[in-house]
Amino acid sequence: MTPDVFHNKSLPVLLILVTVAFIWILLPFYGAMFWAVILGILFAPLQRRLQLKFGWQRNLTALCTLGVCLLIAILPVIVIATLLVQEGATIYKNIESGQLDISGYIAQFKHSLPPYFQQLLDRFGMGELEGLREKIVKGAMQGSQFLASQAFSFGQGTFEFVVSFFIMLYLLFFFLRDGAELVRKIRTATPLAEHQKRRLQLKFNRVVRATVKGNLLVAVTQGALGGLIFWFLDIPSALLWAVLMAFLSLLPAVGAGIVWAPVAAYFLLSGAIWQGVVLGCFGVFVIGLVDNVLRPILVGKDTKMPDYLILISTLGGLAVFGLNGFVIGPLIAALFMSSWALYVETQPRVQLP
């Protein structure tokens, strides 16, 4: 075997080994790196506009863009997460002390149903609510206990959180400053035709912006509107319900209606007619229309995926990657579709007789 042949075969092996080792040592901070990349893509247009308009040095424009990102995207999330953990702890204490009587609400809801529906529940073996009460109370206790425990675990993991947070900010600064150069290097090393690399890069940027700027902004808007109407109607734990509606808004065919619709039905059946009517109308004509109005503007038609694919990829990403999976799942699904579309285009067309 000649030295050239040995070199040609050993270099790819070496590249694979060092790449795997590099990824392995970065895994503890993959979340910080992932969000640094995502935020870098989202705020890169602002960085370029500042650079073109004011002609500042790249360090200064990157620092200004980082400050805007910190105020708009990062600090609000930290504040809401802190308030949510505190509210979860309060709910857990109220359930444990009996101040929040969930079983009483269930019994009141059952007795407020018309006799026909009560008989229907009895016929299907659902009239006895003791088991249902226990399950709902247990689930509420576990959920609120989880949120309450996060306050303690957050205190224990403060150092790790702070390190990850500053790693993200540090990387985000350099991604904003040197992002264009990094993209050029990655495109040069990618073994594809130039038009294929350009198309994949364009698709990646569009999907990131559509997923984060589009889907997450729609979800935040629906959650905020839902929390606002819950607060107006004096429904307890409005912030917790708002966050839950925001998460459910990310899932097609489910949406925030799975939260506000049962509450509106409970109001109507329990005699609180005006609260039920207000919540129902607000949910249908305000919260429900946000998706139809904002999503086409923020996402666009060229990045739209089938609803079933968004649902499966979002749930799968959540199961595999945790909270980051809300973005990673649809992103992988979109790149999967784009890669296979490129492959199909490169195949010779078969002429049918």
The predicted-structure confidence for 241-264, as pLDDT tens digits, reads as follows 888 888 888 776 667 888 888 888
- What letter represents residue 13's amino acid? V
177 compared with 136, residue with greater pLDDT: 177
CA–CA distance, 293 with 283 (Å, rounded to integer): 14
Looking up tokens 């505190």 gives 86
Read off the tokens for 18.
């060092």
Looking up tokens 């959540």 gives 318
CA–CA distance, 311 with 160 (Å, rounded to integer): 32
CB crowding 279-294: b at 16 or more within 10 Å, else e = bbebbeeebbebbeee
Which of the four pLDDT bands, split at 50, 70 and 90, describes residue 155? very low
Q: Supply the pTM of this predicted model.
A: 0.70
Contacts of 353 (CB under 8 A, 6+ apart): none
pLDDT tens sequence across 42-96: 888 888 888 888 877 888 888 999 999 888 888 888 888 777 777 767 766 666 6
